[in-house]
């Protein structure tokens, strides 16, 4: 059996979507690339099924990975988030508005004598040194409903914790799985 260039093209496009998410300046751009990433992952799987499925050994070999796609919290979430996006009107991501955090610079309690917000400017009078943190708006994962079943936001992948608040790291973990899947498939089937 020959090497499958198409599966690797899809993996490269999935990784490009991650890079674009990482560098996005707008929430709409981030969300669109998250959805593009999900579509590319499923294309990797489908193209691998099509390519390697010509081997009589494929059916038994793919079982392990097929099972993981159904039982691993992160993989099942990715598969079904793509399905929900493609086949339902349900939202698969949420948005948290940005904000401002005002704290003491040394981490102790903060006393504010006077604070005024006027025309977008903040004036604070305090006997302590303060730290103002600007928190950007961000995209968050939502539980997804696909084919009548709810898939919670993943917190583990292959027994290890994942940070569901970091959408890019969730995507990277998914891409890494499919990269390893392709490497193992080629090692087994390509002679």
Residue range 157-188, pLDDT digits in tens: 999 999 999 999 999 999 999 999 999 999 99
Reply yes or no on whether the pLDDT at 191 is more than 80: no
Taking each helix axis from N to C end, the angle separating 167-189 and 27-52, rounded to the nearest 10 degrees, works out to 10
Reply yes or no on whether the pLDDT at 98 is more than 90: no
**How far is it, in rounded angstroms, from Cα 17 to Cα 61?**
29
Reply yes or no on whether the pLDDT at 75 is more than 90: yes
Reply yes or no on whether the pLDDT at 1 is more than 80: no
User: 80 near 144, Cβ under 8 Å?
Assistant: yes
Predicted local distance difference test score (pLDDT) of residue 137:
85
Q: Is 61 left (phi over 0), alpha (psi -120 to 50) or beta?
A: alpha
Q: How many CA atoms lie within 13 A of 118 on its CB side?
A: 4
The pLDDT mean for the chain works out to 93
């Amino acid at each position: 059996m020959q090497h499958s260039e198409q599966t690797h093209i899809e993996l490269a496009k999935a990784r490009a979507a991650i890079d674009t998410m990482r560098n996005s300046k707008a929430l709409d751009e981030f969300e669109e690339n998250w959805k593009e990433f999900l579509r590319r992952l499923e294309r990797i799987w489908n193209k691998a099924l099509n390519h390697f499925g010509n081997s009589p050994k494929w059916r038994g070999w793919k079982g392990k990975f097929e099972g993981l796609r159904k039982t691993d919290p992160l993989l099942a979430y990715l598969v079904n988030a793509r399905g929900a996006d493609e086949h339902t009107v349900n939202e698969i991501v949420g948005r948290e508005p940005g904000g401002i955090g005002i704290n003491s610079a040394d981490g102790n309690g903060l006393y504010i004598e006077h604070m005024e917000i006027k025309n977008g400017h903040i004036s604070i009078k305090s006997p302590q040194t303060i730290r103002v943190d600007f928190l950007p708006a961000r995209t968050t994962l939502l539980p997804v409903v696909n084919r009548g079943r709810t898939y919670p936001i993943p917190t583990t992948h292959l027994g290890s914790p994942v940070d569901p608040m970091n959408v890019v790291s969730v995507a990277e973990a998914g891409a890494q799985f499919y990269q390893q899947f392709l490497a193992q498939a080629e090692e087994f089937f390509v002679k």
